[in-house]
Amino acid sequence: MKKLFMALALIFVFISACAPKEDKDAINAKKLIEYHKKKFDSLPLSGKIANGVREIGVKAFQYGWEPESIVVKKGEKVRFIVETADVPHGFELEGIIIPGWDPDKSVRKGWDPDKSVKKGDKTILEINAEEAGVWDMVCTAYCGPGHTGMKGKYIVKN
Ligand SMILES: [Cu+2]
């Protein structure tokens, strides 16, 4: 009888050790995801709608972007009006193809002056925001020692 009791007690200890517990880390992770989702959803959209197109003025400078984050809605047609405040800069949304625009032509090798953003010019680029997500906005023309840190975000909300 004592042995049976011991065996039952052991089984009980074993089961309670295996039963799913409320994992603190999982709860915290869920809270964090929720927090960021709320923050993400509440981001204001950039620019303004003109004739059904979201127009956004983007200014490149040594070494950053104004605005630093561009926010649009999935399904929108987006028009970037890109200018530079100082030296020529390139423009790329990493992983997104902009029709008629080759960001690699604005790097030093094979540099094409028509494919970089020059002072006094407005470079107009259009894309359709087809997919929700976050992409890096980068400069593809070497513009000085801070060039590689010249990063912004392109955000497409659902
Ligand atoms: Cu640059």
Burial tier of 32 (Cβ tally within 10 Å: 0-12, 13-18, 19+): exposed
Q: Which tokens in the block code for residue 56?
A: 């956004």
Query: In angstroms, what is the span from residue 24 Cα to ligand 1's centroid?
Result: 44
Residue 2 or residue 138, greater confidence: 138
How close is the Cα of 41 to the center of ligand 1, in Å? 30
pLDDT in tens, 96-143: 999 888 777 654 445 555 567 888 888 899 999 999 999 999 998 889
Q: Which residues pair with residue 89 across a beta bridge?
A: 117
How distant, in Å, are the alpha carbons of 62, 89, 140, 147 from that of 144?
A: 7, 10, 12, 5
- Which of 86-95, 107-116, 139-148, 149-158 shows the lowest mean pLDDT across its residues? 107-116
- pTM, full prediction: 0.76
Mean per-residue pLDDT, 149-153:
96
- Taking the centre of ligand 1 as the mean of its atom positions, its distance from the CA of residue 38, in whole angstroms, is 33
Domains of the chain: 45-157 (2.60.40.420)
CA gyration radius for the chain? 26
Q: How confident is the model at residue 1 (pLDDT cuts 50, 70, 90)?
A: low
Q: What is the mean pLDDT of residues 1-14?
A: 67
pLDDT for 32-67, tens place per residue? 999 988 988 899 999 999 999 999 999 999 999 999
Q: Could you tell me the distance, in angstroms and rounded to a whole number, from the CA of residue 126 to the centre of ligand 1?
A: 21
Give distance in angstroms: CA of 124 to centre of ligand 1. 18
Residues 6+ apart with CB under 8 A from 75: 128, 129, 130
Q: How many residues are present in the chain?
A: 158
Assigned token pair, 97: 């193809």
What pLDDT score was predicted for residue 15?
62
Q: How far is the CA of 151 from the centre of ligand 1 (A)?
A: 9
Task: Flag whether pLDDT at 6 surpasses 60.
Answer: yes
